[in-house]
Amino acid sequence: MTWQTGLLGFAAGVLISVVTAPVGVSGAVFLLPVQLSVLAVPSPAVTPTNLLFNVVAGPGALVRYRRHGQLAGRLTRQLLLGTLPGVVIGAVIRVFAVPGPQVFRLIVAALLLPLGLWLCVRTLRPGRRRTAGRPSGRAITVLALSTGVVGGIYGIGGGSILGPFLVGRGMPVSQVAPAALASTFVTSIAGAGTYALLALTTVGDIAPLWRLGLLCGLGGLIGGYLGARLQPRLPETGLKFLLGVLAIGVAVLYTVQAAH
């Protein structure tokens, strides 16, 4: 790894996390295409490298949220109950039976595009908003299990999927964001550890690129803290709209990449 690559990874971590941390989305969902297309990280090593980014970057925002008493709660436990086993399952699938990245990108785009548009429309036109039923604890855990598997396969934070869905169902961003980031942090530790163990017994680029992942994560650590510090100063309407825009951005980005 050259110093230019390391510096670019650090800068990407800072900029991405500042924008995504206030709404509970780890920067990994945007860092993944940067690692693949710009930093030339090989596959499947890109997945544990992205998970390593989450591990290093996560405490930046979580420390800030903890100081405001936003981490403890039933939602965090419900998410962890699903994402922890899911990420281990996803890691095993990624190494031994993973679908192509184009399929993954199209699936994520098909899910996030309508969800992001829906959030933006509901935010900009509150007069037509209908009260959505808050999901049950079992539904949240099942969704968390699914996103945990996706996170284990592709190394993205589940907050990019969990956040828009839970906020769209009427839960406040101030509650969803800390829980989603805490879930992403804990499951990323489990996922990175699973990949490290698989690398000992399996041939190929499976272990994370440690130096690059640490540098990206250090940038995310700083950016995540700054982003979490900004959240209380941003209106709930603005946060919901930002979350919708991020969901649309990921969908468009992944669609374009899949097309090429």
pTM of the entire predicted model: 0.77
pLDDT band at 131; cut points 50, 70, 90: very low
In 3D, which of 86, 6, 61 has the Cα closest to residue 229? Answer: 61
- Mean pLDDT confidence for 18-35: 82
Q: What is the residue extent of each domain of the chain?
A: 3-259
Question: Which residues are within 8 A (CB) of 138 and not within 5 positions of it... i.e. 6 or more apart?
Answer: none
Residue length, the chain? 260
Output b/e per residue, 193-213; b: 16+ Cβ within 10 A. Answer: bbbeebbeeeeeebbbbeebb
In 3D, which of 253, 245, 254, 252 has the Cα closest to residue 116? Answer: 245
Q: Is the pLDDT of residue 98 over 90?
A: no
For residues 106 and 210, which has the higher predicted lDDT (pLDDT)? Answer: 210
pLDDT of residue 66: 84
- Mean pLDDT confidence for 85-92: 87
pLDDT band at 216; cut points 50, 70, 90: very high
Distance CA 259, CA 116 (A): 20
pLDDT band at 106; cut points 50, 70, 90: confident
Q: Is the pLDDT of residue 38 over 80?
A: yes
pLDDT in tens, 142-200: 999 988 888 787 777 676 778 788 887 888 888 888 888 888 888 888 888 888 888 88
DSSP one-letter code for 73:
S
